[in-house]
Amino acid sequence: MVRLEKASTRVRPVYRRSAWTTLTGWGMLLSAAGAVGCVLWGVGPYPPLVTETGLAALTVVFAVAWIAASLRAPQHTGLPPDKGRALVWLVAWLVPLATMACFNLGFMVSPEYGRETERLEAARYGQYSVTVARLAGGPIRGHNASDEPVYFETDLVLRIPYDSGPREVTVPKMYTRYEPPKAGTRIDVYCAPGDPRPDSPVLEDGRRWGTGVIGSRMLIITLFPVIFAGAILTGTLSYEMPRGARRFTPPVHLPALGILLLGLLLLLPTALGWEAGGLARPAAFLSCVTPGAALAWIWRSSF
């Protein structure tokens, strides 16, 4: 009896690729990088963040176009091309920077605060030394520890040199150390000499909260974690980034894109200045996990 053995056939891998998949894929990544960069630089001083939201919407459009182009692209037999170094570096640093951008948006000022800051800065808002016209009340000695200097809190009438002419403004509980204030002495306050409004703010500590991470104190807090994460991801992705991660595979990329879309939806109330019942800020902080979660899903599903 002759046994006929069926020769085993080895299925060669296939992938889809075209000029359109390359164009839309890089367009998706670069528009996302542009949105992250605008947030970190503080291009939009306050909501609505038009430029940042527009770039995020463009990222979504490119993502949909990339999926459509991938489904229509011709099939190629064999292993997909190896990862490019530019792609590795872009992804490795975009993920921690996007996380930092989400964290920064959690501290975004309200539209009202932003418009007021813009109005005051146009009126040369800053710290000025002004004259004490008179005391509006008796000095009250503060309660301090034995090793701290003596201080006083006093209601003062200050003479502010506005552009429209000097004006006297009463400022409550002005802080002075060692000695109570006297008429004729000078004291530092925050004011806007070019602001014509009669209720223009005059404050002892009137520093305004700015936007963006670059050039701010928040950069010190977030710089080292971002550098550490970027360096780790660069080394890891350079060594063993899955070949198929850059070619559209529904079980791999659709959940990851869904995670990123969820992050954008969580940021939308903050970016557009919606109140959202006090949930906008917690939602922005919650979105911090979505860039890393999307990359983790792609990594886990591609092997």
pLDDT tens across 146-166, in order? 667 788 889 999 999 999 999
Within 10 angstroms of residue 55's Cβ, the number of other Cβ atoms is 21
Decide if 29 contacts 88 (C-beta within 8 A): no
Decide if 17 contacts 247 (C-beta within 8 A): yes
Is the model's pLDDT at 42 over the cut of 70? Answer: yes
The reported pLDDT for the residue numbered 216 is 62
Within 10 angstroms of residue 11's Cβ, the number of other Cβ atoms is 5
Please report, rounded to a whole number, the percentage of residues in the chain having pLDDT higher than 70: 85
The reported pLDDT for the residue numbered 244 is 65
The reported pLDDT for the residue numbered 80 is 60
Q: Which of 187, 4, 29 is closest to 98 using CA atoms?
A: 29
Q: Which residue has the higher pLDDT, 204 or 14?
A: 204
The reported pLDDT for the residue numbered 149 is 75
Angle (CA) 116 122 128, round 5°: 95
The reported pLDDT for the residue numbered 205 is 87
Is the model's pLDDT at 178 over the cut of 50? Answer: yes
Is the model's pLDDT at 142 over the cut of 80? Answer: no
Within 10 angstroms of residue 198's Cβ, the number of other Cβ atoms is 8
Of 94-98, 103-107, 114-118, 244-248, the one with minimum mean pLDDT is 244-248
Is the model's pLDDT at 108 over the cut of 80? Answer: yes
Decide if 128 contacts 188 (C-beta within 8 A): yes
Q: Which of 113, 139, 97, 110 is closest to 291 using CA atoms?
A: 97
pLDDT digits (tens, 9 = 90+) for 269-293: 999 998 777 889 999 999 999 999 9
The reported pLDDT for the residue numbered 217 is 62
- For the chain, the structural domain boundaries read 14-109+217-302, 123-191
